[in-house]
Structure 1
Amino acid sequence: MQEVENFIKRHQLLSAAQTVVIGVSGGPDSLALLHFLWKRSSYYKIKIVAASFDHRLRGDESASELAFVKNFCDDRDIVFEGDRADVASYQAEHNLSLQTAARICRYNFFENVMKKHRAERLALAHHGDDQVETMLMRMTRGSEGFSSAGIPVKRPFATGKIIRPFLGITKDQIEHYCKVENLFPVYDSSNESDKYVRNRFRKKILPFLKQENPNVHERFQYLSETISEDETYILKLAEIELEKVLIRRTEGKIELSVSAFNKMPIPLQKRGITLILNYLYKINPSSLSSVHKENFLSLLGSEHPSGMLHFPSGLVVSRTYDRCLLSFEHIVKNEERSYDFSLELPGYVELPNGRITAEITDCEPALQRGKDVFVFSMKEVDLPLRVRTRKPGDRMAIAGVGSRKLKDIFIDAKVPQEERNVWPVVVDANGKIIWLPGLKHVRRHQIHPSELWVILRFHKKSP
């Protein structure tokens, strides 16, 4: 197993005085890893802890495997941690795939063991054949970026890092090690079922590749490391460029400039959407694929000024002119609630997108300028005023134009679709629209200097 020692050294997987938790199922791969590190614990100056988890998916078979690992550790004075959980119930409760539910439960267990023993490493027994299978499976699904790199040699996890010392060797080498060391692992019967995609790749594709190149695992591992190195660098560039195009970033929501995003080089655009989705989802749903990213890029690159996409888990991508908003449906619905407030004189109302203030004064109206300010005589408007959201069929009388639909006014002003539903509409006591803050107001009558004036101001929230 000199290849493993060289692999550990080259990737700096272990350091002296570290506590290493080893995930052990009792199968040949994990049992060989446990035995390998146990025999060399003095050489590496590490403390090892075996961690075995029963998913309770195969009845007595999986329960006996847990007992097998415990006995193996007891015979060698290896610290043992074991647990079991009803993965099927967890799957049903959280509406997950069985594989995802099993992984979450298993890794939660590993994390707890690492915290308990203050471990710096979690060693897992994925090997070179696993790497080939994983990369081929992901390529078949259309994965890209880090995902296409397959299984990482090491990555941050819990109180330290996950390491995979066996990625440089094959399944046959592990089986040979077990035979030489007189290890008698247990075998998971589910590994033989063609019902699982990985098993089909293992039994039908991998033998052909090994026939063409017996060391194909080494070439795939080299490719994996190359992709990871390239992706790390390109992602850093994408992060820098992405900050220049973001307009707003809050929990569950990101807004960006379409024109600025389209100026980024295509490779950075692709990594940019990956970074955005990672931020929004936290844990990407299994149904999210490269197709969704391609659709996103097509939406932003389209000559049509507006469009909408629906991504998994309720994520909505909405483009309106030069702005693109990514937000989850429940957030959009909460923000798009209609409102209807009475506006006292003087007084103010708080709105989802800002505040409208009202004051009474005798100052000259000519001194009040700007689309966010509307001045009128108290005699020309029927009070009280109300501030509400738009309604179907809303129209507004505009000087020199006549009556226009609010929808058309919003379109001409290029107001994003998601803002139109919360945009304030100021109406008089008769329901007549007198002001669209920031956009339009009705024509004022001839006013005499002695009259009192109402000054309305719209203080729009910054993005």
Structure 2
Amino acid sequence: MDELLEKVWSDVNSYRYWEKNERILLAVSGGVDSMALLDVVRRIPEESRPTIEVVHVHHHLREDSDADLLLVKEYCERYNFLFHEKHWDPHFHPKSDIEAAAREFRYDFFSEKMKERNAAILLTAHHADDQMETILMKLTRGSALSGYSGILRERKFSIGKLIRPLLETEKEELYRYCLENNVPYREDSTNQELNFTRNRYRNQILPLIKKENEQAARHFQAFSQDFLDMTNIVEPVLKEKIATYFEKNHASWQFSIRLLENEPIALQRLLLTYFLEKIWSNEGVIAKKIHVALILELMYNKNPQSELSLSGGLIKKRYDTVIFEKTSGLEEDLKKFPTIYKELKLNQWLQLPINGKIGLFSFSKKSVAVGNEKIKVFQLSNKKIQYPLVVRNWQPGDRIQLNPREPFTKKLNRIFIDKKIPKEDRDKILVISDANGIILWIIDYAASIWLTPIENDLTNNEDPEHRFVVFEK
């Protein structure tokens, strides 16, 4: 018996994926991964073999994808598997984020077929290399806490569950299996295109990691399982603590700072993270991990009343109480200045909702005519600033240090009063802050000690460490 077949058969018996002759759907694209899985499940000994039906989506994203469909269809005809196909009309292809849209279309079809065929199990051919890519991508770009465990071997889906029997199998093993057993498959030419994020990880980063350690894939899978185990242990504790400290009142939540501050700071962070990711996000509020630090700052600053705006929500400190409120109706929200929280990416412009654009540039990459009165340029001090920088709405309680000879900070609200800025204009004011929350600039109003105005034209310089904030009205 082939090593891969033996491994999958052993897992089927150990995890009791299905009963003999139970109807399952197997998602097959025609690539080496899914064709290997289809062939392995076909060859499972009769006492454990399910009734196989194949689902295939033709995305119409490649000129040669007709051949993928034909290959899968011919294989199914050869072995008498019921074959279900669906086509994604190119007229409905979005202009951006097509990978996510394709995935949504694909899984909607799988769910639809599971219900239609009364099949409680869907198999997909995600493998160990997919697991490595997923974990690396989530660590790199950030994720909800639960996301760091990567791809799950089994999860609830549609009317049943989705199972990934190859999750501990490296792609190299799948190629070897298909070669040794004459299993046909097709290569997706777009897998080599580096304009897709996952392809860059697959073709550039994973080979380097595997070169460092041939057992890397196994270690990533072990990390995934360890993290999942830890999450499963911690989550009930967090739920219990949420029930203890958080109180729901109609459309809002609240907790007492005095009570929560008795817990270790690590537990406070976990509780706030869990609340934002698992509870408030389900109520339509968009919160990011950076907001946990901002909430803690709001809790412990000396201002008895302050607020933090999120997309769809408002967090208010009222003396000892922190209140989480959903913003009222869409029509009222549209009247307000939009909530902004955008990272400044190096050498890229960011269009602002007010007139103007702003950017973070390296000295060697940007040349600007500073004499233009519509352009402001500041050099950043590298001594204390932590990247990334973000452009966001100012918040009550925000402070800025304006005088290098004085270690004191000044409230933004006081600056607005001193400058006689009308209250209705204050909601439109944006700030730049660093990763530690230090306010660097009240855009177009006041610069901190960490920014130095540039009076002369910028010219090329070999020092890439110099960073400049450029604002153009």
TM-score range relative to shorter protein: 0.5 to 0.7
In 2, the alpha carbon distance for the partners of 1:326 and 1:188 equals: 47
Match of 1:71 in 2: 74
Shift of 1:34: 1.2
3-state SS, counterpart of residue 83 of structure 2: strand
Deviation per CA, 1:287-318: give whole Å up to 9, x if none.
Answer: 86432333334333434333333334x33333
Are positions 1:190 and 2:190 aligned together? yes
Shift of 1:166: 0.5
Shift of 1:73: 1.0
Larger radius of gyration: 1
**TM-score (norm: length of structure 1):** 0.64
Contact 1:41–1:47, Cα closer than 8 Å, also in 2: no
Partner AA of 1:4 in structure 2: V
Are positions 1:326 and 2:330 aligned together? no
Are positions 1:315 and 2:313 aligned together? yes
CA distance 1:21–1:171, shift in 2 (3 Å): same
What does residue range 110-149 of structure 1 map to in structure 2 within 5 Å? 110-143=110-143, 145-149=145-149
Contact 1:87–1:102, Cα closer than 8 Å, also in 2: no
In 2, the alpha carbon distance for the partners of 1:112 and 1:278 equals: 27
Contact 1:87–1:98, Cα closer than 8 Å, also in 2: no
In 2, the alpha carbon distance for the partners of 1:303 and 1:17 equals: 66
CA distance 1:55–1:316, shift in 2 (3 Å): farther
Match of 1:49 in 2: 53
What does residue range 341-356 of structure 1 map to in structure 2 within 5 Å? none
Match of 1:406 in 2: none
Contact 1:245–1:260, Cα closer than 8 Å, also in 2: yes
Shift of 1:186: 1.5
Deviation per CA, 1:54-85: give whole Å up to 9, x if none.
Answer: 22333x43344233322221221111111122
**TM-score (norm: length of structure 2):** 0.63
Partner AA of 2:18 in structure 1: L
Contact 2:254–2:323, Cα closer than 8 Å, also in 1: yes
Match of 1:226 in 2: 226
Alignment gaps of 5+ in structure 2: 336-473
Shift of 1:47: 1.5
CA distance 1:281–1:70, shift in 2 (3 Å): farther
Contact 2:277–2:287, Cα closer than 8 Å, also in 1: no
Contact 1:241–1:264, Cα closer than 8 Å, also in 2: no
3-state SS, counterpart of residue 167 of structure 2: helix
In 2, the alpha carbon distance for the partners of 1:332 and 1:325 equals: 20
Match of 1:39 in 2: 43
Shift of 1:334: 6.3
3-state SS, counterpart of residue 248 of structure 1: strand
Residue among 74, 82, 85 paired with 2:85: 82
In 2, the alpha carbon distance for the partners of 1:117 and 1:191 equals: 32
Partner AA of 2:142 in structure 1: G
Contact 1:41–1:48, Cα closer than 8 Å, also in 2: no
Number of residue pairs aligned between Structure 1 and Structure 2: 330
In 2, the alpha carbon distance for the partners of 1:9 and 1:267 equals: 41
In 2, the alpha carbon distance for the partners of 1:8 and 1:42 equals: 12
3-state SS, counterpart of residue 166 of structure 2: helix
3-state SS, counterpart of residue 317 of structure 1: strand
Partner AA of 1:134 in structure 2: T
Match of 1:27 in 2: 31
Larger mean Cα displacement after TM superposition, 201-210 or 219-228: 201-210
Deviation per CA, 1:216-240: give whole Å up to 9, x if none.
Answer: 1111111101100110110110001
CA distance 1:280–1:15, shift in 2 (3 Å): farther
Match of 2:295 in 1: 296
In 1, the alpha carbon distance for the partners of 2:287 and 2:193 equals: 26
Contact 2:238–2:274, Cα closer than 8 Å, also in 1: no
In 2, the alpha carbon distance for the partners of 1:315 and 1:111 equals: 32
Deviation per CA, 1:91-118: give whole Å up to 9, x if none.
Answer: 46xxx73232222211111111111122
Partner AA of 1:278 in structure 2: K
Contact 2:28–2:56, Cα closer than 8 Å, also in 1: yes
CA distance 1:102–1:327, shift in 2 (3 Å): farther
Partner AA of 2:317 in structure 1: R
Contact 2:144–2:277, Cα closer than 8 Å, also in 1: no
In 2, the alpha carbon distance for the partners of 1:146 and 1:88 equals: 36
Partner AA of 1:54 in structure 2: H
What does residue range 43-442 of structure 1 map to in structure 2 within 5 Å? 43-58=47-62, 60-86=63-89, 89=92, 91=94, 97-143=97-143, 145-248=145-248, 253-272=252-271, 273-282=273-282, 289-312=288-311, 314-331=312-329
Shift of 1:277: 3.1
Alpha carbon RMSD of aligned pairs, Å? Answer: 3.0
Contact 1:52–1:66, Cα closer than 8 Å, also in 2: yes
In 1, the alpha carbon distance for the partners of 2:13 and 2:300 equals: 47
3-state SS, counterpart of residue 167 of structure 1: coil
Contact 2:315–2:325, Cα closer than 8 Å, also in 1: yes
Match of 1:13 in 2: 17
Shift of 1:280: 3.3
Contact 1:262–1:300, Cα closer than 8 Å, also in 2: no
Partner AA of 1:121 in structure 2: I
3-state SS, counterpart of residue 102 of structure 1: helix
Shift of 1:332: 8.5
Shift of 1:274: 2.5
Shift of 1:257: 3.3
3-state SS, counterpart of residue 209 of structure 1: helix
